[in-house]
Amino acid sequence: MTNPLLDFSGLPRFGQIEATHVIPAIEHLLSENRQQLIDLLADSSTVFTWDNLLQVIQEMDDRLNRAWSPVSHLNSVKNSDELRAAYEHCLPLLSDYHTEIGQNNRLYQAIKSIIDSDQYDNLSPAQKKILQNKQRDFHLSGIDLDDHKKNKFKQIRQQLSKLKSSYENNVLDATNGWDKRITHKSQLSGLPESALAMAKQTAELESVEGWVFNLQFPSYFAIMTHADQRELREEFYTAYCTRASDQGPNAGQWDNTDNMERIMALRQKLAQLLDFNSYAEYSLATKMADSTNEVIEFLQQLAEKSKAVALQDIAALKAFAAKHLGIDDIQAWDLNYAAEKLRQHQYDLSQEALKPYFPENQVINGLFAIVKRLYGIEITAVSGVETWHPDVRFYEIKDARGLLRGQFYLDLYARPHKRGGAWMDECIVRYAHQGMVQIPVAYLTCNLTPPIGDEPTLFTHDEVNTLFHEFGHGLHHMLTQVDYAAVSGINGVPWDAVELPSQFMENWCWEKESLNLIARHYQTGEALPDEIFAKMTAAKNFQSGLQMLRQLEFALFDFKLHIHYQCNDQPQVQKTLDETRQQISVFLPPEFNRFQHGFSHIFSGGYAAGYYSYKWAEVLSADAFSLFEENGIFDQKTGEQFLHTILEMGGVEEPMDLFQRFRGRKPNIDALLRHSGITL
């Protein structure tokens, strides 16, 4: 029987892939790649060139990536015990393989010989950049270590791979492992009909009476924002912020405490093996920022400028809660509720009131219309494509000449057995060789409010922002014109620049001209009225100081943890978070809060010592958008300029050089502070 994971003739065969296919496919490809590399390097007299070495390696890497990508994706969006077991079996195999490649001295010397030869001058900028990155990555993979330390490095990488997977599994299981059935509607006072209908639908799917709310974000957020019953908000807050920890209703059941400390200790040991003082220093070797001091100073500068505004925000919230809500001792589970009431009081506007203007189809069609105006691309739905769930849709992108530029899967809704959050990931990466162009394909995944009955899905404005954000990542991956996979799309782009295209796209969620394309009342077709837009604009920076400090708290916690962590068997994660909060927070959460136990970005994702990237790139995105503010948000020339200098360029050039080519100068922080409503 043919293994669908080894069929590279088209898109992944999601209708055929089973957990039993995973291990045989990955083991086969790893064995095949190892033998091919041995054969490539066997003859010591070979004069290596791009075509006889790097092109072959690109094809080897692509086959492995194309097999592993659907496995990793399914593990995130359709998790099962069988798939999880197969996935986790392969993690150490892949870790070992990549470490072997990074420590293969014969391969290192072969690549170095190309860099040192006359042929190097005749290579393209993309080819040169790949060779430079590979030479750097060899050193970051331990090529300079003795055999004992190389083996130690390999063991650490393997252990980290397992621990990160264990961490993520705990978060997923803890999120799915708690819900609340409510049988008396009086307990649900304040909740809008849409939230009640969603909970009723969940109860029906579980064949129980009443309403079922859970820790999937749309359900949890509805309780925290609208439920009048304070005890109910406290119960949900406690369950959510203690997920995968030693606290809360499932204390100790999926506890990530040990996972976090072990991950941090291993990261520090890995960095020290390579003569870095900290994992933060090691992380910056592949990022835009030059030093740990530069990052800390950047974050602290933002915190200093934001704190006075945040203090005003929390004071206003406390005063309003005491005067209008009868809450004299505001707690963490009151914040979202009080903020929503205050927003309505100040601006006569609520997230719920905006939802009728953001029906799903209008938002998606409007999004496609916006990028067509900006970049001249056409996006159309494609039917008959195998997917992992009936709700998933598939689209293709063509440029103004009718050429196929990219394709993507769109998986919008929250559901059980699906990892929380929103993300873009690579399915297939673009590269070109001998007239053949491999079209890039992306996964765009969100956890937005699911449809309820026969009614169209209505999004909050925050959910619209999330969709635009992930679509910005997708455009970066799919619109690339780079012909070499290692620097195509988001590949080779420093992590603290990769958020530029995503945060950049969010700006079109706030402009009247673009809102006319995405916001239409689902019943009447009426465009968003001017008076509601005026309220949205007035409320845009509502509580912006608190929001800014919250993100800076996460970023400083992450970076300081990765700078100062010591391998001394003393717990340091909670201590570092407490110290960070004491330094910059204007509202301390309760002692039982275990936010870090679900902070997947840094413990199981790609943002270790890199969460600052969101704010770093937001400076770039706000400043980039300011050129559109000057020239018109749909100015064709400016859109083409952004397309050609940012979206199409992948990782071929340094992001700062690309930004300056687009903007005509270096970035400054002013636009970000202005957009955030924080005075200079």
Q: In a 3-state reduction of DSSP, which class is residue 626? A: helix
Residue with tokens 């890039």: 440
Q: In a 3-state reduction of DSSP, which class is residue 448? A: strand
Pairing of strands 441-448, 404-413: parallel
Contacts of 62-68 with CB under 8 Å at 24 or more apart are 62/429, 62/431, 62/438, 62/485, 63/8, 63/29, 63/33, 64/26, 64/29, 64/30, 64/33, 65/426, 65/429, 66/8, 66/12, 66/428, 67/5, 67/6, 67/25, 67/26, 67/29, 68/26, 68/94
- The residue count for the chain: 680
Q: In a 3-state reduction of DSSP, which class is residue 279? A: helix
Q: In a 3-state reduction of DSSP, which class is residue 267? A: helix
Q: Among 519, 349, 491, 337, which Cα is nearest to 424's?
A: 491
Q: Which residues of 156-176 are buried (b: 16+ CB within 10 A; e: fewer)?
A: bbbbbbebbbbbbbbbbbbbb
Distance CA 161, CA 155 (A): 10
Would you give the DSSP letter of residue 649?
A: T
Q: How many CB atoms sit inside 10 A of residue 183's CB? A: 10
Q: Are 409 and 394 in contact (CB under 8 A)?
A: yes
Would you give the DSSP letter of residue 612?
A: T
The residues carrying an active-site annotation are 470
Q: Are 90 and 21 in contact (CB under 8 A)?
A: no
Q: Are 572 and 565 in contact (CB under 8 A)?
A: yes
Q: Among 109, 177, 180, 93, which Cα is nearest to 143's?
A: 109
Q: Are 386 and 14 in contact (CB under 8 A)?
A: yes
Residue type, 66: R
175 alpha-carbon distance from chain centroid: 18
Q: In a 3-state reduction of DSSP, which class is residue 494? A: coil
